[in-house]
Amino acid sequence: MLNNWFVMPTCLPLVIRRCHACASERFRANGKFRVNANHKLLDAWLLALCTACGETTKLTVFERTHVRSVRPDLLDRMHDNSLALAGRLLQDAAVRRRNHVALDWDGAWRLDTGGTEHLDREVIDVAVRFAARIPVRPARLIAEGCGLSRGEVGRLVTEGKLVSAVRLSGKVSGDFTFTLKR
């Protein structure tokens, strides 16, 4: 029987960018937007606060964009400071590339295994699903979900008792499956 595990965000990830005021490298986005109009051209930024000093930085969403080319629902969600929109924009590779930032997901996600009754079986088949593109080591997820140490997971991989189509030593941010034989 296939078990489903879910990796879900619990909050917005930290933004990795150097603060010009205090040299810290972490900013917390809180879902606040700033939209500026200059005649028929719009600029929009996602605001983030430095975790050390509270200084504000602006992450550019779009610049000098004609007002008619911006979807009205997107503009409304920016005016409403939508937290869901902020999360979606932080995960957008184009926005991250434009602003030269990366994301720090430490402590911003959780693993939902649906209970521990499946851990008693000899063979466990698990499908891991990601609600957002959160880069996590599969060995860490397996260790956390099965109540094992990462060393035990590594030993099971070398013995051939833990198999998967993805490489279990790197990071993944997409769905994968694995089989554990005890």
Burial code of 93-122, b = ≥16 C-beta within 10 A, e = fewer? eebbeebebebebeeebeeebeeeebeeee
Rounded to the nearest 10°, the torsion over CA 37, 43, 44, 47 is: -100
pLDDT value, residue 74: 95
pLDDT above 90 for 182? no
pLDDT value, residue 22: 93
pLDDT digits (tens, 9 = 90+) for 22-57: 989 999 999 999 999 999 999 999 999 999 999 999
Helices 83-91 and 72-79, axial angle in degrees (round to 10): 110
Could you give the CA distance from residue 61 to residue 45 in angstroms, rounded to a whole number? 5
* pTM given for the model: 0.82
pLDDT digits (tens, 9 = 90+) for 4-29: 999 999 999 999 999 999 989 999 99
Determine the average pLDDT of the residues in 74-78: 96
pLDDT value, residue 43: 96
**Can you give the length of the chain in residues?**
182
- What are the beta bridge partners of residue 36? 43
Reported as a pLDDT band with limits 50, 70 and 90, residue 169 is confident
Determine the average pLDDT of the residues in 135-160: 92
Reported as a pLDDT band with limits 50, 70 and 90, residue 138 is very high
pLDDT value, residue 118: 67
Question: Which is more confident, 168 or 58?
Answer: 58
Residue percentage of the chain with pLDDT more than 90? 83
